[in-house]
Amino acid sequence: MNDSAAILDDLLSRWHSHCRAYKANQQTPRDPMFRDTKSGRGWDSTEDIIEDEIHGSMMESIDFQVSEMQDPHRAAIYALARNLSTGRSVWMSPRLPQDPLQRATIVAEARNQITKRLMAVGVM
């Protein structure tokens, strides 16, 4: 496996975990003046805060780039990311062909597409 494939696997695994951690705000509407405020993070170092911001921006970029892909390639990326995150190769999408050879071709095309997209926007 070359470096770009390993980097892509790591990014997709972290992206899937990041997406699973997202929870919609179920609270009552907040005052617009305070909608972007964050709780105090006095225990975090400056490096930790910057790293969290960069990580969040990277995950948002990956999310946008995947959402812009067309099916079946988008479905292939979702299934691939879930498999990478769980460490298993059991997850499939009903949007992908049942034939393993056709499915592998689509996954390879999807990996190439997302790699090019992430390189173009500077994530990889």
pLDDT band at 47 (very low <50, low <70, confident <90, very high): confident
pLDDT digits (tens, 9 = 90+) for 74-90: 999 999 999 998 888 77
Residue 99 in domain:
yes
Six token digits for residue 91: 């997850």
Closest among 8, 1, 38, 3 to 111, alpha carbons compared: 8
| Total domains, the chain | 1
Q: Which residues are within 8 A (CB) of 99 and not within 5 positions of it... i.e. 6 or more apart?
A: none
Residue 22 in domain:
no
Whether 103 contacts 97, CB under 8 Å: yes
Task: Find the mean pLDDT for residues 59-86.
Answer: 92
Whether 69 contacts 113, CB under 8 Å: yes
Residue 122 in domain:
yes
pLDDT digits (tens, 9 = 90+) for 19-41: 887 555 555 555 666 656 565 65
Residue 14 in domain:
no
pLDDT band at 50 (very low <50, low <70, confident <90, very high): confident
Could you list the residue range(s) of the whole structural domain that residue 66 is in? 55-124
**Model confidence at 118: pLDDT above 90:** yes
Averaged confidence pLDDT in the chain: 84
Residue 116 in domain:
yes
Residue 6 in domain:
no
Whether 85 contacts 16, CB under 8 Å: yes
Residue 13 in domain:
no
Tell me, what amino acid is at 112? N
